[in-house]
Chains A and B, each alone.
Chain A
Amino acid sequence: MSGMAVTRSDWANTLALLGACLLALACGWTRSGVVVRVADTAGTGTAPVRSDDGVWVAPGPYQRIISLDPAIDDALAEMGLAPRLLAVSSWSYAHGSRARLLQQVPHQLPPGAGLEDLLALHGDLVLVSGASDPLRSAHLRAAGMTVFDCGTERTAADAAQALRQVAALLGQALLGEQLASRFLSRLERVRDPSLPQLSACYVAIYGGELLGGTTGTTYHDLLVAASLDDAAARRGWRDWPTYHQEDLVTMAPQVIVTVTGMGATLRALPGAARIPALAADRIIEVDGDLLAQTGIGELEAAEAVAAARRRLP
């Protein structure tokens, strides 16, 4: 048997494989580089703003804005910039805290809208969240669209920062700064230091799965605003964990914040008696849409949670 001796066919095939790889590399290897879009009309003269995916975008008088980030939709509406919006995310249109102001926007799109749907609108700026497909953004840029990634708004501070950036991008830096500061200070004022600090955690139950939200998310902000101590954060949890029932027992929260309608399911959990919040029936139920707010709508959510907190026995 010839064993592993290199034969003529080995040479031919190896050459073919190498050739194909080199050709492929040549076709693909051009750096995407940094993109700075030159504004059509006289620019604002301000510095480019850094998008969350690393691309620098120049500010400009964008008039046909497509916003696929529900958190930013609300901010834009609040700043009175809704007339410059060509399309908003369908969720904001239906459930957002500023849905009323957004009714005038001509188009709504799901956040996962396809390339053609976006390009067909002929917008001049696309705002996406950190949750969007980076490949779609790359493809849009390759097609000549300006795309700005607002990042993932995890906390109130993130939301304020995104707000400032988008405002600067649209030449409304001052307005953005005002709105951001007002938002943060009002959020701070929601907290009532005279109330006793009870330990609490946010838990939602979907299909038997216990999903939480703690440090690094808006849920933590809501708990803090309601003068509650985040029990999950004390235990070292981060972001949006999935709990086992035992975890809740260990955390022993005195109050549970959850979505309207889930309280009954939580009370019915076997072993609920071992969780202080469930045993004492200290469950705060808040509207799901409100709890899910990640932009300036978080303020309304915080006020709702704080109000419910005050009503607790």
Chain B
Amino acid sequence: MTPGEAVLTVSALSVVRSGREVLHDISLSLRAGDVQVLIGPNGSGKSSLVMALCGLLPPAAGTVTVGGAAIARLSPRARARLVAYVPQRSELGSGLSVAQVVAMGRFAHDGAWGRDAAHQAAISEALLQVDALELARRPFTELSGGETQRVLIARALATRASILILDEPSSALDVAHRLGILRLLRRLAEAGKAVLVALHDLNEATQLADQVVLLRSGRILAQGSPQQVITAEHVRSAYGVTLLPGGGYGYALDGA
């Protein structure tokens, strides 16, 4: 996958949930090596769009194309090998170790009888990439918020999918962990992944994104570079608040 190549294309997508249209006429494309950030107020359809891009919600109109094929036509396994999803929170109960959770990411590659040859390597590699190798044997439910998020990302990485889609990965985390996740995502994009992440915080979006998509009421309000999208006018229109001039990000990680 060459950087800059469009790996996921959405054209004129509309999604209906419980009889209500939650997304209307959404078009965007995701490129390898890019970090695209989705922002918008509560109820703007960020989560619905994330799920639709992962193939978890069927389109009422329009298409989502991955690797040349419409995502709705792919089998769940084929889809999982192309697009990896990281949820906001995990419902996993007790009893599983971190390694077992990450191993779930290999499900799409499992044969009918046994695991494939790359199974163990993929798991170790994924844990290494998120700096969580030492957590491998720990029970998943005993991890802190930041560690949990990293393990969920590792699970997504274990699928070896080229597209990573995350739904507000840092919303429940403290400042240091948030910055850590952002740095990780940037590293993954530089390694060639196409990353799309829904975020709440506009400052984080400015910091992280190559491209920004601003949603309001299920429609795209603005699309483009952070400077083009996060303007006073757009912010007032979408959120109803004033963007203060000179507002920058107030924190940085040591050594960043």
Contact = CB atoms under 8 A, between A and B. Distances in A.
Direct contact of A and B (CB under 8 A): yes
B75 A1 contact: no
A2 interface: yes
A72 to B, nearest CB: 62
Interface string B11-33: 00000000000000000000000
Nearest to B74: A2
Interface in A125-168: none
Contacts of A7: 75
A45 B72 CA distance: 80
B75 A2 contact: yes
A5 to B, nearest CB: 8
Interface in B54-72: 55-56, 58, 72
Contacts of A1: 55-56, 58, 72
B76 interface: yes
Q: Classify the interface of chain A: helix, strand, loop or mixed.
A: loop
Contacts, number: 9
Contacts of B76: 2
A7 B112 CA distance: 13
Interface string A1-32: 11100010000000000000000000000000
Contacts of A3: 58
Interface string B70-108: 001011100000000000000000000000000000000
A1 B55 CA distance: 6
Nearest to A7: B75
Nearest to A2: B75
A2 B74 CA distance: 7
B65 to A, nearest CB: 16
A13 B30 CA distance: 38
A2 B55 CA distance: 10
A249 B56 CA distance: 69
Interface in A47-105: none
Contacts of A2: 74-76
Interface string B124-164: 00000000000000000000000000000000000000000
A1 B70 CA distance: 11
A2 B58 CA distance: 9
A206 B58 CA distance: 64
Interface in A213-271: none
A2 B73 CA distance: 6
Contacts of B75: 2, 7
Interface in A176-196: none
A7 B56 CA distance: 18
Contacts of B56: 1
Nearest to B56: A1
Which of A2, A3, A7 is packed against the most chain B CB atoms within 10 Å?
A: A2
Nearest to A3: B58
B84 to A, nearest CB: 17
Nearest to A9: B112
B238 to A, nearest CB: 30
9 contacts: A1-B55, A1-B56, A1-B58, A1-B72, A2-B74, A2-B75, A2-B76, A3-B58, A7-B75
A-B pairs with lowest CB-CB distance, top 5: A1-B58, A2-B75, A2-B76, A1-B72, A1-B55
Interface of A: 1-3, 7
Given A1-B56, A1-B58, 7 more contacts: A1-B55, A1-B72, A2-B74, A2-B75, A2-B76, A3-B58, A7-B75
